[in-house]
Structure 1
Amino acid sequence: MKFKEYPYEHLDENELHEQFLKIEDKLKNAKDYEEFHEAFKELDKLNRHVQTMSSLCNVRHTIDTKDAYYTKENDHYDHILPLVQNDLVNATKTIWASPYFNDLKKDVPETYFLLKEMEMKAFDEKIIEDMQEENKLASAYQALVASADVEFDGEHYSLAGLEVKMNDADRKVREEATKAYWGWFEDHEKEIGELYDKMVKVRTRMAKKMGYDTFTPLGYLRMTRLDYDENDVANYRRQVLEDVVPFANTLYERQKNRLGYDTLHVWDEKIEFLSGNPKPKYDREEMVKRALKMYKELDPATGEFFQFMVDHDVLDLDSYPGKAAGGYCTFFPDYESPFIFANFNHTSHDAEVLTHEAGHAFQVYSSKGIEPADCIWPTMESCEIHSMSMEFFTYPWMKMFFEEDVDKYYFNHLSGDVKFLPYGVLVDHFQHEVYAHPEMTPDERMAAWRRLEKQYLPHKNYEGVPVLEKGGWWMRQLHIFMNPFYYIDYTLAQVCAMQFWARMQENDPTAFEDYKKICRIGGTLPFKGIVREAGLKVPFEAGSLKNVMEKTQDWFAKVDETKY
């Protein structure tokens, strides 16, 4: 069965509520553990079905944001998902109060209980209306960005489509495309600022109702930080400032010198080589064929997985008008099927989609049999280990996509990974500032971003782009709007993935076996447990960043840049 044939059904909120109530009644009145466990499995089955239908709706809506039916259905989920969460929390409270609670602990992964405890601390009926408002605001931001129609050089582009021109080898084209791209954000600065202001206020209001001083502790609960806290993250950010920012600055300086420019402008940052950045040599159809060959050669398990993706047509990769921005991987539990959504733009990003998002998809495909469904995915920072590590494990096959430019790809990719760490930490630090001071005006938030940006990204030159000099870069960062505090995850995972890369440099034969193992584990362990199971150092530990940065610096020291 192909993706377009996956059945979808509208979920009626009253019928759904009745189903949850019946299951809750069975949990309460079970005569023995066997009866209780059957009711628990029934709850999991219903939860899987809700996840499947809401994910299916989200995919079909983001594929075509102009589709009236799925737009209406998306609005429906904005309304009912908080109600579903209320039913799930009530069922969880019933499970916690049951005399069979300890028996269940023997059959269900510990992370399930940790997750549910956080869910109960993060939710109450009194914030349902606020959650519905938050969902509507997030959908409004996504629709606004998807609606962008930027005229450039006589053509019309989406924001994702315009990024092709922002990577052009011609410096003047890059400059004009960059100004056109950010011109759209400047034109919509007031609208975006007001949208985000409303988001900050509604999230703060929820936190106050739940008894928290600010949204930050509630945000951490919602992100299910199972085994670390704000202090761990603050310490990690300090390590990035000390061990990564100086090295990243040397890479930017090398880039400027390699390009022969006096100044590295914002429109130059995406260009590593005067001869042009590495680009895949093939179109989307051929790239998918080559990806299938790559995954079959990498390992039988990855071969089986990607064949499934191709056979079921669960790859939507092209960019076109009306399609939402960005990329993601999701999962339909009822059909045991991952799905990859992306916007190919004829840059190296396209190859990274086929490795990064495929890393997510391979993990969920490997752990799809785990019960309950809440433990199929790990928490977000652990999910990103699978995706970012797959980018490295597929290095030996990148010649299939980049041909004679493969060495440029390696340089570009690894350099980008190092440069990303300070940016990713900046996004996190900014959100901590925003939610610590919810009274800030939109202009004050812009200033806060620019102040932090000068710490983490001191090389930035925004001459000629006033909205960026003002502090507007954050407006394009989808996660800040859609998933508060979801970003430090990428950097934590990047440090773990780079440790796998270091093991590959040493020809460690156990590296990929450890990777497959943590994919099978899914969400049955928290972050630190998964990292240790993979034979890696936890990024919060002193020296973990310094060690991997030293190995990366050694690699760059041996590169002869003149050949590019």
Structure 2
Amino acid sequence: MTFPALPAAIDEIDAREWASFEPYFAELMERPLTHANARQWLEDWSALERILWESFSWTYIQKSLDTTDEAKEQAFLDFLNNVYPEAQRAAQVLKERLLALQITPEEMPDMTLVLRDMRSEAEMFREENIPLQTRLAELGNQYDKLTGGLKARWNGEEKNLSQLAVFLNDRDRAVRQRAWEAIADLWLGIRPDLDKIYREMLELRRQVAANADFPDYRAYAFQERGRFDYTPEDCFIFHEAIETVVVPATRRILARKRERLGVDVLRPWDWIPERGILVQTGDGEPLKPYDSQDDLIQHTLNIFNQLDPELSRYYATMADENLLDLDTRPGKALGGYCSSLPWRKRPFIFMNGVGLHDDVQTMLHESGHAFHDFESYALPFVWQANPPMEFAEVASMSMELLAAPYLTKKNGGFYTSAEAARARIEHLEGIIVFLPYMAVVDAFQHWVYTHPDEAMDPANCDAAWDDLWQRFIPDVAWGELADTRMTGWHRKPHIFSSPFYYIEYGMAQVGALQVWRNSLTDRGGALAAYRYALSLGGTRTLPELFTAVGAEFRFDTAMLSELVGLIEETIAELEKA
């Protein structure tokens, strides 16, 4: 039996049916495997995985683009139900065959970490977990569909959440309050539905962990996410450093906001952590950097051309091949992401732009992920291109900071010099005030999955979230709006669909700030280190990747004090500009 020819393009394969993939897996299972032919066998398996992963990504992208299209949703669900479980089973067989060879680091030095990860995955695999994981993915889709369909009337027009969020940035406090309350009412209206989804998710995850012989889902998730280089205790150290260093810095920012607004207290529509919105108090209306998707693309392309011609070429490729879908519209899923299409070796960027500066930041952020994909596609095996998520976010967050000096119109960007200074202040303030919110999201999930019986009652989840909110989120008066504060965990999709995936953003932000710090004295060197580290994909450990990009993998009080100090100094300088 010879390895069948793989299709030239993804549309040549029916991603809804396991029969489309099964012959390729069958050949790999039956082919004799020896040390002599292991590399060719791996190359064939890697090529197959590229098609499989792209099939998943593409069906997910398509249903995200229009959550009202039942055919696209069904194609995604068919993949989840018909292909994903069988692919997991087949991959387990192949992993066991490969691991039985006991390949040494000397034989395949470039596969050392991949084999470590495969060994961990093989140890965790349980046949009985496959239907549970499929159901979890279905519940995640329910969350996306439910929240993506939320709409409210605004001045006689129907608006989705992304469109309503535009008014959360309005300089008129009454407009902000009205928009915030409209959005809050929409979320509270689906509170019972979200509680029901989450309860079922908790039951399933508890069973998944038990089936795999873990004491709780947190222990399972840490191994599943490949957290070989830090522990839950390290997360708590990070939380405490944020409480010690960043919460006081946040208070200083909020005090300036109160003074400039001329108010005694801030209200929830003045600072909305889950949306990264902090009221701006400078002169003029909120920044409106672009008028259309084409305008956003062109100015972003100009910025990247100033920063690095090769990065600009990557971005132009995505634009030319229609791999950017950036505007919000009714029925489009919430949020933004970059998804790799590893068969064609291209990334796809999805976002919900509404013409505000936050969209520019999202565009730069997701482009950083895309550059990571482009730089690592040259690695021979698909698994090597998967970096730890803690470092994947360094790629995106660093790009937000590295591109900042080129936001001005004279560099082809969006703003006058004064507007660019405003944008940079907004971004830097946002970094500081994000970290306490990140700590809430992460600490909440530590509580949930180590208190599984208590967490089954949504009221206990509300109370645990509220306790953490009071600890980390200072100086906002909620008054009679406590229900919306306590159910803030509903509004963070990661908590539902990607448990424990959030501290990565905080760790990566610390790494990205170090890249930015380095760029202030050696821009060329910092950019070269950035691109080199991205090209390594997942072929180095997490601390080694931080070292490659010119950063230290540590999150203590001393590190945060240095970086927060640099941010505050830079904000002070920009305010004088």
On whether the aligned pair clears a TM of 0.5, the verdict is yes
Residue correspondence of structure 1 range 302-313 to structure 2 within 5 A: 302-313=311-322
CA distance change for structure 1 residues 113 and 36 in 2, over 3 Å: closer, same or farther? closer
SS in 2 for 1:7: helix
Query: Contact 2:289 / 2:415 at 8 angstroms: preserved in 1?
Result: yes
Contact 1:359 1:390 in 2 (8 A): yes
Amino-acid identity (%): 26
Structure 1 residues 255, 42: CA separation in 2 closer, same or farther (over 3 Å shift)?
Answer: same
Name stretches of at least 5 consecutive residues in structure 1 with no aligned partner.
Answer: none
Answering whether residue 280 of structure 2 is matched by residue 272 of structure 1, we say yes
CA 1:159 to 1:96, structure 2 compared with 1: closer, same or farther past 3 Å?
same
> Judging changes above 3 Å, is the alpha-carbon distance between structure 1 residues 21 and 196 closer, same or farther for their aligned structure 2 residues?
same
CA distance in 2, matches of 1:8, 1:156: 39
- Residue 419 of structure 1 aligns to a residue whose secondary structure is helix
For 1:402, the equivalent position in structure 2 comes to 415
Alpha-carbon separation, structure 1, partners of 2:125 and 2:181: 43
Contact 1:78–1:132 under 8 Å retained in 2:
yes
Which letter maps to 1:89? Q
Task: Tell whether the 8 Å contact from 1:115 to 1:226 is kept in structure 2 after alignment.
Answer: no
Q: Are 1:90 and 2:93 an aligned pair?
A: yes
Name the stretch that deviates more: 78-87 or 36-45.
78-87
The match for 2:367 is: 358
1:446 to 454, 462, 467: 462
Decide whether aligned partners of structure 1 residues 560 and 48 sit closer, same or farther in structure 2, where only a CA change above 3 A counts: closer
Q: 2:493 aligns with which of 472, 478, 482?
A: 478
* 2:201 is equivalent to residue 193 of structure 1: no
Residues 525-544 of structure 1 aligned to structure 2 (within 5 Å): 525-540=540-555, 543-544=558-559
Partner letter of residue 203 of structure 2? K
Of 312, 321, 326, 1:317 maps to 326
Distance change >3 Å, CA 460–CA 223, structure 1 → 2: farther
Q: How does 1:248-259 map to 2 (within 5 A)?
A: 248-259=250-261
Partner Cα separation in structure 2 for residue 103 and residue 500 of structure 1:
31
The residue that corresponds to 2:386 in the other structure is 377
- Point out where structure 2 has 5 or more consecutive residues left out of the alignment: 1-8, 272-277
Shift of 1:283: 2.8
- 2:88 is matched by which residue type in structure 1? Q
Matches within 5 A, 1:61-80: 61-79=63-81, 80=83
| Counterpart residue type for residue 231 of structure 1 | E
Of 163-172 and 427-436, more deviation after overlay is shown by 163-172
What corresponds to 1:147 in structure 2?
Answer: 149
Q: How does 1:416-431 map to 2 (within 5 A)?
A: 416-431=430-445
State the shift of 1:144 in Å.
0.5
Q: For residues 407 and 551 of structure 2, what CA distance do their matches in structure 1 show?
A: 25
Partner residue, 1:510:
525
Contact 1:121 1:221 in 2 (8 A): no
User: Which of 522, 528, 540 is the aligned partner of 2:537?
Assistant: 522
What are the superposed Cα offsets for residues 171-221 of structure 1, whole Å, 9 maximum, x if unpaired?
Answer: 111101100001011111111011111111110111011111210011112
Partner-residue secondary structure (3-state), 1:218: helix
Structure 1 residue 243 corresponds to structure 2 residue 235: no
**8 Å contact kept, 1:496–1:538:** yes
Call closer, same or farther: CA 1:282–1:397 in 2, change over 3 Å. Answer: farther
Give how far 1:416 is off. 0.2
Q: How many Å separate the matches in 1 of 2:59 and 2:420?
A: 38
Rate the CA distance shift 1:331–1:458 in 2: closer, same or farther, 3 A. same
1:339 partner SS? strand
Give runs of aligned pairs for residues 282-297 of structure 1, distance below 5 A: 282-297=291-306
1:330 pairs with 2:339: yes
Counterpart for residue 132 of structure 2: 130
Distance 1:103 1:249, change over 3 A: closer
Amino acid of the structure 2 residue aligned with 1:126 = E
Residue by residue over 1:287-307, the C-alpha shift from the partner in whole angstroms, topping out at 9 and shown as x without a partner, is 211111221221121121111
- Aligned-pair CA distance for 1:107: 5.1
Q: Deviations over 1:343-382 (max 9, x none)?
A: 0022211111221000000110111111210121311111
Report the Cα distance in structure 1 between the residues aligned to 2:22 and 2:232, rounded to whole angstroms: 36
For these two proteins, the number of residue pairs brought into alignment is 553
Alpha-carbon spacing, 1:397–1:444, altered in 2? closer, same or farther (3 Å): same
Aligned partner of residue 75 in structure 1, secondary structure: helix
Letter in 2 for 1:123: F
1: CA distance between counterparts of 2:354 and 2:535? 32
Instruction: Verify the 8 A CA contact 2:267 2:478 in the aligned structure 1.
Output: yes
Q: Distance in 1 between matches of 2:492 and 2:515?
A: 27
Q: Conserved in 2, the CA contact under 8 Å of 1:169 and 1:274?
A: no
